[in-house]
Amino acid sequence: MTNEFPQVLTIAGSDSDGSAGMQADLHTFFIRKTYGMSVLVAAVAGNSYGIHAAETLPLAFIDQQFEVLADDFKIKASKTGMLSDAALIGTVVKAYQTYDFGPLVVDPVITTKHGAQLLENEAFKALKQQLLPLATVATPNFFEAQLLTGRTIQSEADQASAARDIQALGVKNIIVKGWHHQDDQQEVADYVLLADGSDFWLRHSYFDTTHINGTGDTLSATIAAEIAKGQSVANAIRTAHDVTTAAIASEIAVGHQFGPINHWAAQSVN
């Protein structure tokens, strides 16, 4: 048997409620017909009301997970999720530089979708100075783009400028996700800046739903999966936008408050 089936890796935390983090990544790898692997770095006790506790795994054990995967598999692309302290980011950076895990998609998890900061200062610096320069693609949300650049984003021109500033950190390709600024806003615009300087906008309807857990994970996981299958970065990002939008568009009844997006609804995206 050859070892050629598209294999893709998430370096992420487990979210016990299955809506985000590693679980959302693995659901996504599955619907994109890739074989998903996972280096578990942390675990949170979460439910639809929020995250109640979090633990990081021992760094030596994280190292060992990387080592055994590198010994056996042919991973064609990887992604990172929530990496909440500087030592953990250092461990991931070192492993990524040691082994060949393909192009890296960095979901720079710094804030929740509502702008609340999740990362302490040293980790923020390590993310910006050590991890992002390794990224083939970074997928900041609107708030993360503001924090990474020190800019206030008030217009599409500001959003594009923020992407250029993030590219200057060493990231090759960037999607800066948009935000619905007013309650009555019907459309959200994501800005894509590619390594060659070309750019485009991806626009989608705003869905007024509380079931959006896992949105960022699903977007970045789809990009990694599509790159692992040999797609161009631009096409991977377009597919990821379609998958994520389809998964938000149709709710499933799980949990009492902030529920998951619906990966089954995205299975028909080509």
Q: Please give the residue ranges that form the binding site for ligand PXL (CB under 6 A).
A: 12-13, 15, 20-21, 44, 46, 51, 81-82, 109, 216-217
In whole angstroms, the minimum distance from the beta carbon of 51 to ligand PXL comes to 6
In whole angstroms, the minimum distance from the beta carbon of 221 to ligand PXL comes to 11
Question: Please, which residue, 12 or 171, has the CB nearer to ligand PXL?
Answer: 12
In whole angstroms, the minimum distance from the beta carbon of 42 to ligand PXL comes to 6
3-class SS string, the chain = CCCCCCEEEEEEEEECCCCCHHHHHHHHHHHCCCEEEEEEEEEEEEECCEEEEEEECCHHHHHHHHHHHHHHCCEEEEEECCCCCHHHHHHHHHHHHHCCCCCEEECCCCECCCCCECCCHHHHHHHHHHHHHHCCEECCCHHHHHHHHCCCCCCHHHHHHHHHHHHCCCCCEEEECCCCCCCCCCEEEEEEECCCCCEEEEEEECCCCCCCECHHHHHHHHHHHHHHCCCCHHHHHHHHHHHHHHHHHCCCCCCCCCCECCCHHHCCCC
Question: Please, which residue, 194 or 223, has the CB nearer to ligand PXL?
Answer: 223
Question: Please, which residue, 43 or 169, has the CB nearer to ligand PXL?
Answer: 43
For the CA atoms of 242, 244, 248, 249, the dihedral, rounded to the nearest 10 degrees, stands at 10
In whole angstroms, the minimum distance from the beta carbon of 217 to ligand PXL comes to 5
Question: Please, which residue, 15 or 226, has the CB nearer to ligand PXL?
Answer: 15
Question: Please, which residue, 23 or 146, has the CB nearer to ligand PXL?
Answer: 23
Question: Please, which residue, 89 or 194, has the CB nearer to ligand PXL?
Answer: 89
In whole angstroms, the minimum distance from the beta carbon of 27 to ligand PXL comes to 13
In whole angstroms, the minimum distance from the beta carbon of 135 to ligand PXL comes to 17
